[in-house]
């Protein structure tokens, strides 16, 4: 079948522009018509057509738990390894979020000020926040804001209300949790014993390495 015969959805270009940047399309996203784009991808007929089309461009659509993303066909191992190194920035952030009294979970809503207040009152959380190496500000609230800005840019969070500074956790956040779990399993002493397996061969890292 020729590409012109696929009768692609009119949103194909929009979907490509999002996924090719290393971003995700989540079912619970509301900004920029994300929920609608998810529904289009989740339709089996559309999915098959789009998969055939994007394969020609050397991309593969991957489906997670209520989210979609791109993997790159025949990606060199060196690029995957670089992505793994870049992914390390998320590990301390997830650890911080998982240690809060009000856990950050899929679909939950929170304000940076709430996390900053809890960090200010808890020495252990202060230490975890201090470990995050990306941020210059010494102010707890500004650090949390920068973290939220980054996670929003990477399509793991959505700024739901600018006035109250309320964020919603998108379905794609579970991708981060899955990768961290895979890294943890890989690090166990008996993992891949007597095999040539390595981490980059077993998981798709959808992170911009730059």
Per-residue pLDDT of the chain (210 residues; tens, 9 = 90+): 455 566 899 999 999 999 999 999 999 999 889 999 999 999 999 999 999 999 999 999 999 999 999 998 776 666 667 667 767 778 889 999 999 998 899 999 999 999 999 999 999 999 999 888 766 667 889 999 999 999 999 999 999 999 999 999 999 999 999 888 877 655 544 444 443 344 444 455 555 544
pLDDT at res. 137: 66
Measured CA distances, 15 to 10, 21, 46, 57 (Å): 10, 10, 12, 14
User: What DSSP assignment string belongs to 33-85?
Assistant: GHHHHHHHHHSHHHHHHHHHHHHHTTEEEEE-SSEEEEEETT--HHHHHHHHH
Token pair 């899955």 is found at 178
The token pair that represents 63 in the structure block: 């489906």
Where do the domains of the chain lie?
Answer: 3-72, 76-210
What is the CA 177 to chain-centroid distance, rounded? 9
DSSP 8-state code for residue 1:
-
| Rounded Cα distance, 168 and 110, in Å | 7
């Amino acid at each position: 079948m020729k590409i012109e015969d696929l009768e692609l959805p009119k949103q194909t270009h929009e979907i490509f522009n999002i996924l090719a940047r290393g971003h995700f399309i989540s079912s619970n996203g509301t900004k920029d018509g994300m929920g609608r784009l998810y529904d289009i991808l989740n339709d089996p007929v559309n999915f098959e057509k789009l998969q055939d089309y994007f394969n020609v461009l050397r991309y593969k659509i991957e489906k997670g738990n209520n989210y979609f993303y791109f993997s790159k066909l025949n990606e060199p191992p060196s690029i995957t390894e670089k992505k793994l190194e870049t992914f390390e920035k998320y590990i301390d952030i997830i650890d911080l979020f998982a240690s809060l009294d009000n856990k950050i979970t899929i679909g939950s809503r929170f304000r940076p000020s709430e996390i900053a207040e809890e960090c200010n009152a808890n020495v252990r959380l202060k230490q975890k926040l201090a470990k995050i190496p990306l941020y210059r500000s010494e102010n707890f609230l500004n650090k949390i804001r920068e973290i939220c800005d980054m996670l929003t840019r990477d399509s793991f969070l959505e700024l739901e209300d600018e006035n109250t500074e309320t964020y919603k956790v998108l379905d794609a956040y579970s991708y981060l949790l899955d990768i961290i779990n895979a890294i943890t399993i890989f690090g166990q002493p008996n993992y891949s014993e007597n095999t040539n397996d390595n981490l980059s061969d077993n998981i798709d890292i959808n992170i911009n390495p730059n």
